[in-house]
């Protein structure tokens, strides 16, 4: 049996169905990203695993034990929140040790774990400070240290980096992934940020409207999206979805896989120069298409141009899977 197994997990709040029969196996030591837009059910699923809520249906097994009805404190897991959840009147050291003291862990063991966590996260010089004297990145390290000292093998994280600026998020992503691998933690990480999921996770569980749209490695979701929802969610900019003339299929092709020149005639709408590349919006077959061109390219709005792409880069979605109305919504340009 998998280390963590979710079987037909369902949840509703009043008339709103939030989770629709979730089945998922997670192995020990995996870094799993629960990815999806707001309202897809990812945080609800995390809360059910944590024991903060109870599912309306289904079972949760952890390390061979049915924990569906087990209290949160008895599940043997730790959690890192978006808001850090630090006590402002306690020092960094006291915040880190709060859970151990509540569990009455011996004092010498507390000190050993504190020293280890402080070394791992570079908090040694900050242990006497209060949270109000810390930066956002330092507060996040304290929250991570509190999870580490618990020594629970399963750690749940609910968008822990969302309050940080872009540069610090990138630094913390690398640190968090290194820490997870070093300690052998099983991590379930909730995020709406595909960059976080793609850069850290062993596997991504992409959720949509209370269901799992696709599970796989970052490369699998990028290279072989199962549905238009996955195709549009993974990738930056997202995959183009084009209704080709004379067919009942939708063709998917990523902006970085389209080249200038070829047999597909389009009209330039706008360009955005990003330094390393230029993003070009083109009207193709009366539909908006994005092209990511390396370097700088000067194209005037209204100019005609030809496009091409390798047939091996195409993704085909049947009309029954990608209805015209749904794809029109998905294809809105960023």
pLDDT at 321: 53
Which range marks the domain in which residue 57 is found? 4-223
Residues 123 and 193 in one domain: yes
CATH number at residue 267: 2.40.50.140
From residue 188, how far is each of 125, 146, 221, 301 by CA, in Å? Answer: 30, 17, 18, 45
- 250 found inside a domain: yes
Question: What SS3 string covers 321-334?
Answer: CCCHHHHHHHCCCC
Residues 216 and 257 in one domain: no
Residues of the chain with pLDDT below 50 are 323-334
Q: Which of 223, 247, 276 is the last residue of a domain?
A: 223
pLDDT at 33: 98
Residues 248 and 291 in one domain: yes
- 136 found inside a domain: yes
Q: What angle do CA 160, 162, 168 make, to 5 degrees?
A: 95
- 229 found inside a domain: no
CATH number at residue 88: 3.40.50.300
Residues 55 and 167 in one domain: yes
At 144 the three-state DSSP class reads: helix
- 232 found inside a domain: no
- 169 found inside a domain: yes
Residues 67 and 153 in one domain: yes
Residues 182 and 289 in one domain: no
Residues 284 and 152 in one domain: no
- 233 found inside a domain: no
DSSP 58-106: EEEEETTEE-TTS-GGGS-EEEE-TT----TTS-HHHHHHHHHHHTT--
Closest of 241, 233, 243 to residue 289, by C-alpha: 241
Q: Which of 163, 195, 223 is the last residue of a domain?
A: 223
Residue 256 structure tokens: 């970085």
Residues 101 and 208 in one domain: yes
Taking the C-alpha atoms of residue 40 and residue 50, their distance in angstroms, rounded to an integer, is 18
Q: Say if residues 160 and 142 touch (Cβ distance below 8 Å).
A: no
pLDDT at 21: 95
DSSP code at position 21: E
Q: Which of 153, 188, 223 is the last residue of a domain?
A: 223
Overall domain count for the chain: 2
Q: Is the pTM of this model over 0.85?
A: yes
Residues 189 and 83 in one domain: yes
Residues 243 and 99 in one domain: no
DSSP code at position 162: T
pLDDT in tens, 231-275: 999 998 999 999 888 888 889 999 999 999 999 999 999 999 999
The dihedrals phi and psi of 303, each to the nearest 5 degrees, come to -70, 145
Residues 267 and 213 in one domain: no
Residues 15 and 148 in one domain: yes
DSSP count for the chain of H helices, then E strands: 9, 17
Residue 59 structure tokens: 């079972």
Instruction: Report the Cα 156 to chain-centroid distance in Å.
Output: 13
- 26 found inside a domain: yes
pLDDT at 330: 45
- 231 found inside a domain: no
pLDDT at 329: 45
């Amino acid at each position: 049996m998998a280390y963590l197994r979710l079987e037909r997990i369902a949840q509703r709040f009043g008339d709103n169905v939030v989770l629709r029969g979730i089945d998922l196996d997670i192995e020990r030591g995996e870094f799993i990203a629960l990815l999806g837009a707001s309202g897809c059910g990812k945080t609800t699923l995390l809360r059910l695993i944590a024991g903060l809520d109870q599912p309306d249906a289904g079972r949760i097994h952890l390390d061979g034990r049915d924990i569906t009805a087990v209290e949160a404190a008895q599940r043997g897991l730790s959690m890192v929140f978006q808001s850090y959840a630090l006590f402002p009147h306690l020092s960094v050291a006291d915040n880190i040790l709060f859970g151990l003291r509540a569990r009455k862990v011996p004092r010498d063991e507390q000190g050993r774990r504190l020293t280890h966590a402080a070394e791992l996260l570079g908090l040694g010089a900050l242990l006497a400070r209060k949270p109000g004297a810390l930066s956002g990145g330092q507060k996040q390290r304290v929250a991570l240290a509190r999870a580490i000292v618990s020594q629970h093998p399963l750690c749940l994280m609910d968008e822990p980096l969302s309050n940080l600026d872009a540069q610090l998020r990138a630094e913390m992503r690398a640190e968090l992934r290194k820490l997870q691998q070093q300690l052998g933690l099983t991590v379930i990480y909730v995020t709406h940020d595909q960059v976080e999921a793609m850069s850290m996770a062993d596997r991504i569980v992409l959720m949509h409207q209370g269901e799992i749209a696709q599970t796989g490695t970052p490369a699998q979701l990028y290279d072989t999206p199962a549905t238009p929802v996955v195709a549009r969610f993974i990738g930056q900019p997202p995959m183009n979805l084009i209704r080709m003339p004379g067919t009942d299929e939708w063709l998917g092709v990523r902006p970085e896989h389209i080249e200038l020149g070829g047999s597909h005639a389009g009209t330039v709408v706008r360009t955005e120069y990003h330094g390393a590349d230029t993003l070009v919006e083109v009207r193709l077959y009366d539909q908006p298409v994005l092209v990511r061109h390396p370097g700088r390219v000067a194209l005037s709005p209204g100019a005609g141009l030809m496009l091409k792409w390798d047939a091996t880069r195409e993704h085909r979605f049947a009309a029954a899977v990608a209805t015209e109305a749904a794809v029109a919504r998905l294809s809105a340009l960023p």
